[in-house]
Amino acid sequence: MMEEREAEKERDKVVVLDFGGQYSHLIVRRCRELGVYAELLPYDVPLEELKRGIERAQGGGKIRGIILSGSPFSVHEPDSPHCNAEIVALNVPLLGICYGAQLVAHLLGGVVRTGEKGEYWRAELFFKDSELFKGLGERANGSTQVWMSHGDLIEGLEGAEILAHTAGSPIAAFRVRDMIYGVQFHPEVHHTEQGEKIFRNFLYAICGCERNWTPESFVREQVEEIRSAVGSNGRVICGLSGGIDSSTTALLVNKAIGDRLTCIFVDNGLLRKGEQEEVLDTFEDQFHLKVVFVDAKERFLTGLRGVTDAEAKRKVIGELFIEIFEEEAKKLGDVEFLAQGTIYPDRIESARASSRKSSRIKSHHNVGALPEKLGLKLIEPIKELYKDEVRAVARELGMPSQILNRHPYPGPGLAARIIGAVTEDKLRICREASQIVEDELRKSGWYDNVWQAFAMVGDDVATGVLGDARTEGRIVTIRVVESKEAMTADFVKLPYAVLESMSKRITNEVKGVTWVTYAISSKPPSTIEPC
Ligand code: XMP
């Protein structure tokens, strides 16, 4: 406990208030990349909560600064998001970005109006000497390229010092007292040449933050936190899939409480080639975790027999998983906690999706119903992390590189890549062809540069020739995409030679395949997985 309090005291935190801008997440990421823990909060978070966080460390650290994000709104629109007006009186540095800057100016009595043209491009920013722009050029006053994306302008702000202007924005950056800064441009996007330096200046010089958000400090704090949550006798179960999120969760919990953690690894028959052996070898043999292995191949295949609709397949898989997990948990007896590998984008996306009432594209099965059904308390040690941060923590915990660098894999496994009913034959084709796709990508050095790569198969058959004879076989489609966090994706423009060797090997080595195609649609409008 002592160590935990020390760590909390040590860690600095910056809060990013989310006004709905498209780059809000990027702001958080930029801070974290600079070693400062940042957290995205809704714009209307109660002022009291911020005040408490400024006074003393809680929820991951002590608030040293607040950043107000951009927004598609204009501050004068009736439904525009406004935070508590007293935010400008808090005893902590503020940085308003784009809409955030306009809102700060508006709250301080400034004039914000809609410009004639707007500025949606790179602009030359002429800046003068200030703490925020220190080190941007050789001389204190200079110019640099920034990314602008706004329709409104700040026209006047009494008592403010104007720190920069562009051709389209007379007040492109301002300072009020030594605490409040506003920038009309977006330092968080890469098009702003020296955005990182601006963040460094704000975080280190203006807020006084230290670089104390590191994988090592994260592991230390989480281990303490898990220990204090579970107590000295509590027992935990964790569904281990072999993916990076559940694996990292299992290693963290194991580090905290040793063999009071039991992992449950279910072979649902939808795993990648060699996955079962790899998971058991890594976690049982190398890390000495307690793993209960459940061979449920038959049960899943029987449940899926004849089910063709993609959502119906997901439902069968999700329900069977819960059923099996429940049975195993009961066998173990007095378990009180369930550890889950929920990560930051999962939480933010589900919170946004529920508030926006957006339509459901796919029901991702991440066992959300389990804790309630089993009456278990939830432990989610990596819920604050982005995927690349999970990888950094996993590396810190000694995760072997084949798991560390493996592409993300969907909960429903190969069923997400089999169009129509899941049969043994289609499973075999999908598994073997996917293995060839992965192999060829590794051989050609592409594997680590793409987000996901696999083969998919449906019920269509096409004519081929085998020797001199006509034959019929299935069509396999290769899908290789690049993406950041899977919200959007583009197909990868692989060299023809790589595609050719994949195609040759698939038609030669995978029995029953006559044609190979390459998926060349992006997300949107396609999704990454076909089902
Ligand atoms: P889509 O196909 O919706 O996938 O573009 C986006 C990302 O999510 C993965 N995915 C899933 N992950 N449970 C998961 O945990 C699921 O049911 C699921 N479905 C898709 C997919 O592999 C991609 O990375």
pLDDT tens-digit readout, 138-182: 787 899 999 998 889 999 999 999 999 999 999 999 999 989 999
> What is the b/e burial string over 248-257, where b = at least 16 CB atoms within 10 angstroms of the residue's CB?
bbbbbbbbbb
- Residues 392, 23, 448, 366, CA torsion sign: positive
Of 159-173, 296-310, 364-378, 466-480, the range with the lowest mean pLDDT is 364-378
**What integer pLDDT is reported at residue 2 of this predicted model?**
41
∠ at Cα 136 (95, 68), nearest 5°? 10
Residue 523 DSSP label: B
Q: How far apart are CA 417 and CA 430, in angstroms?
A: 7
* Residues classed as catalytic: 98, 186, 188
**What integer pLDDT is reported at residue 358 of this predicted model?**
44
Any residues with CB less than 8 A from the CB of 380 and at least 6 apart, and which?
A: 249, 339, 340, 341, 342
**What integer pLDDT is reported at residue 357 of this predicted model?**
40
Question: Tokens standing for 42?
Answer: 């809704």
Residue 198's Cβ-count burial label (10 Å; 0-12, 13-18, 19+) is buried
**What integer pLDDT is reported at residue 203 of this predicted model?**
98
Categorize the per-residue pLDDT at 344 as very low, low, confident or very high, splitting at 50, 70 and 90: confident
pLDDT in tens, 438-457: 999 999 999 999 999 999 99
Q: Which residue has the tokens 């975790």?
A: 289
**What integer pLDDT is reported at residue 444 of this predicted model?**
98
243 lines ligand 1 (CB under 6 A): no
Q: How far is the CA of 410 from the centre of ligand 1 (A)?
A: 5
pLDDT in tens, 10-23: 689 999 999 999 88
Does 24 score more than 80 pLDDT? yes
Q: What does the pLDDT average to over 387-400? A: 94
Residue 179's Cβ-count burial label (10 Å; 0-12, 13-18, 19+) is middle
Q: Whose C-alpha lies nearest to ligand 1, atom 3? A: 527
411 lines ligand 1 (CB under 6 A): yes
Q: Which residue has the tokens 């004068």?
A: 76
Q: Whose C-alpha lies nearest to ligand 1, atom 20? A: 410
The percentage of the chain sitting over the pLDDT mark of 90, rounded to a whole number, equals 80
Mean per-residue pLDDT of the chain: 91
416 lines ligand 1 (CB under 6 A): yes
- CA of 363, closest atom in ligand 1: 17
Q: How far is the CA of 337 from the centre of ligand 1 (A)?
A: 26
Q: What share of the chain is helix, strand, coil (3-state, %, to 5)?
A: 40, 25, 35
Strand partners, 113: 153
Q: How far apart are CA 33 and CA 26, in angstroms?
A: 10
Q: How far apart are CA 186 and CA 24, in angstroms?
A: 10
Q: What does the pLDDT average to over 262-290? A: 95
Q: Whose C-alpha lies nearest to ligand 1, atom 6? A: 486
478 lines ligand 1 (CB under 6 A): no
More confident residue, 200 or 56: 200
SS3 for 341?
A: coil
408 lines ligand 1 (CB under 6 A): yes
Bridge-based pairing of strands 469-483 and 452-466 is: antiparallel
More confident residue, 97 or 357: 97
Does 51 score more than 80 pLDDT? yes
Q: How far is the CA of 442 from the centre of ligand 1 (A)?
A: 22
364 lines ligand 1 (CB under 6 A): yes
Q: How far is the CA of 414 from the centre of ligand 1 (A)?
A: 11
pLDDT in tens, 315-331: 999 999 989 998 999 99
340 lines ligand 1 (CB under 6 A): no
Q: What does the pLDDT average to over 69-82? A: 94
